Amino acid sequence: MLGFLSWLLGSKTGRIIALCLLALAAGYLAYRQAFGSGVASEKSRQAQASLDALRNRISIDDQISKMSPADRRVELARWMQRDDDGE
């Protein structure tokens, strides 16, 4: 192993190979960093969308719970009628 390292750093060909390997490793690390930040960004976007949907659901549930039973029936009938029209 020590002989290989001394050849790698001691000869011109070895230094060129080492430089190429170093450039490949740097490129790979840069690619992984960019890919990782993209994944984190997408996870963050999805988490934000889930939170927005949850807030919307809580708001609607709160509105429904404040309605009287008669108002709920009227709203449900209106909602079902809209659904039948394809709107």
Confidence (pLDDT) at 49 = 95
| 87 pLDDT tier (thresholds 50, 70, 90) | low
Q: Which residue has the tokens 């008669």?
A: 70
Helix (H) or strand (E) holding 50: helix 12-66
pTM of the model: 0.51
Name which residue leads in pLDDT, 57 or 8.
57
Q: Domain total for the chain?
A: 1
**Residue 9 belongs to what domain range?**
2-85
User: In this predicted model, what pLDDT tens digit does every residue of 20-74 receive, in sequence order?
Assistant: 999 999 999 998 888 888 888 899 999 999 999 999 999 999 999 999 999 999 9
Q: Are 68 and 76 in contact (CB under 8 A)?
A: no
- Report in angstroms the alpha-carbon separations of 16 from 10, 26, 45, 76: 11, 15, 43, 75
Residue 67 is given by DSSP the state: S
